[in-house]
Amino acid sequence: MNLVRGIVASVKQPVENARHEHDRAFIEQLASARRAPQTLPMTEPTEQERPRGPQRPADSITRMTEYVLPTHANALGNVFGGQILAWMDLCAAICAQRFASTICVTAGIDDLSFEQPVHVGHVVLLEARVTAAFRTSCEVFVDVRGEDPSTGRTWPCVSGFLTFVAFKDDKPAAVPELAVSEPLELALLHAARERRDARLARRHKQSAPSATGAVVTPRP
């Protein structure tokens, strides 16, 4: 028995010594990294990294995943509609900024329709893509689905179209052209143009002067 213990000890000791040596080396590297100044290389994006030519809708696809906590839900345990809107706005803003390569701000929301709720403990899946590009603005479609992580089942929650305006140096900036080729992409582009024309017509009607010469503004 003593012989066996001696053999085991003779094998374990070099292993323990190597482990301690590795731990000491790791601790020294960690301490050295903490003492060293943390700097990141500041390089300008290249044209290859930020293309300004026509871009495909597929290149703008942005996905987000959110976990529904009690703070996100109402008294029935369903996620607030306003919280869903906030996540949609964030996902669409990232999508628009990637497409335009500059800051984009929300200008409007069209055709928003809720279908099924998402409960506490479930997951919210968001996917956004650019559907149309105009001079300084673009339209982004966001599809939101709920997911039960324990089963993998998903269901439609809400979808909608958001419009963003690109800004650079505190002024509206031109956005790239959108290269569409698929039938669905062409249909979305056509529908986006119709929505834009309808918005501009409403804006023109609201700002038109009345018979008395006063500008008619919508009631809040």
Segments making up each domain of the chain, as ranges: 57-202
Is the domain spanning 57-202 CATH 1.10.1060.10? The answer is: no
Which of 189, 188, 127, 132 lies closest to 163, judged by CA?
132
The DSSP result for 14-49, as a single string, is: HHHHHHHHHHHHHHHHHHHHHHS-------PPPTTT
Residue with tokens 């703008």: 60
At residue 37's C-alpha, the angle toward residues 34 and 39, to 5°, is 120
pTM for the model: 0.70
> Cβ contacts of residue 150 below 8 Å, gap of 6+?
none
| Stretch (H or E) spanning 200 | helix 183-207
- Per-residue pLDDT 10s for the chain (220 aa) are 554 344 344 434 544 454 455 445 544 554 454 444 444 344 444 444 444 688 899 999 999 999 999 999 999 999 999 999 999 999 999 999 999 999 999 999 987 878 999 999 999 999 999 999 999 999 999 999 999 999 999 999 999 999 999 999 999 999 999 999 899 999 999 999 998 988 888 888 877 665 555 554 454 4
